[in-house]
Structure formats: C-alpha cells, structure tokens
Amino acid sequence: MYIRSADATAAFALTYGNMSGRPKAREETKYLFVHKHGVNVPKWPHRLMSMIDLAAFHAYHPELTNVTGRLPYHLSVWQDSAIEQGLSLLVEAPHALALSASSISVAVMYDNDTAIGPGSTQYEALKLVCREIKEYFPIIEVVGHDEKPEASNIANKQCPTPIIDMNLLREQLCQTTGK
C-alpha cells in the first residue's frame, strides 16, 4: 500500500474547468461515504488507471456518470492499493446529492467486468484511509453510498455493496480507533 501522487491540479481543472467561480467549500463533516467505481467503463479507450483518468471520464461523459461531469471523489483506493487524492478534502465533491455538502468521499476502484471486490491489501488501504480521515475530521458516520437513500436518485442502488461489507468495515474501524 502506498500513496500515489496525482497531478491534483489537472484533476481539479478537469473537474471545475467548466464551471464559473471557485469550488464550493464543504459545510461540515458528518459522513465519510464509501463508494465503488469500476475501472472498465463504456466509451473510454482503456481501463481507468488514475484520478486523472477518472476526472477525464466524468468530464467527457457526464451522461454516463450521474454527477454533472465533475469528479465525485476526494480519494480513491486503486486495485494496486495505491491511495490517490483528486480533490481537496475541504471542497464539496458531487457524490451524494444534498449530503455531498457535509461529507468526504472515497472510491474503491474494482474490476467491474468480473465484479471481484478488493483484495486484502486494497481493503487494508481502504481501512487506513477511513481511519486517518476519522482521526482528522469529526466524522459522525462511515457509510456506504447505498445506506443513505437521500444520497442517490437511483432506487435500489448497490454502492459499495456487494463488494464491501460496510458493517464489517465499521466494526473493524471501531476496533482500531474506538470510534
């Protein structure tokens, strides 16, 4: 597991370049949302391999993403266990409708062609991200995107389930952080 340095400026430009003004600051931190995002996406020439790819995909194909063409995740945990930041944790990322203003988002990147979830090192990297964010921000709750109905306009959304057991993740975080 390692932290891969993204060209955050490029991801930021792809995310906010088509908007006027500055990105909106998050109001508060109530939630840490865990998402899943496939690395094999339609209308894209190759597998998504970085936050730059992810930002470009969302910018160029908003009709496929449901998030107005903007990068929806602050952080991503890739299949090689790399942790990559695409947006400042202090700005709003459009990942959970109205709850975006009070939350941080982390995406677990997975092979959506085979629907295989994270391996042990990727899962450990996810736990590390969650643990560190919980220590730094006064987060009330770590939640899966599908656990808050008001966070999506898609009925019966499965994100991050079934690839991540959120109850198990919360239990493990509680054991290591006491929170």
Structure tokens of 21? 């003004």
pLDDT at 70 over 60: yes
pLDDT at 68 over 80: no
Mean pLDDT of the chain: 83
Sequential DSSP letters for 35-89: EEEES--TT-SS---SHHHHHHHHHH-HHHHSSTTS---SEEE-TT-EEEE-S-T
pLDDT score for 160: 93
22/175 Cα distance (integer angstroms): 39
pLDDT score for 20: 45
pLDDT score for 148: 93
CATH number at residue 7: 3.40.80.10
pLDDT score for 123: 96
Domain encompassing residue 89: 2-177
36/87 Cα distance (integer angstroms): 17
SS3 105: strand
CA distances from 95 to 29, 63, 66, 145, 173 (A): 14, 15, 9, 9, 22
Nearest to 177 by CA among 147, 136, 143: 136
Structural domain tally of the chain? 1
pLDDT at 127 over 70: yes
Confidence (pTM): 0.86
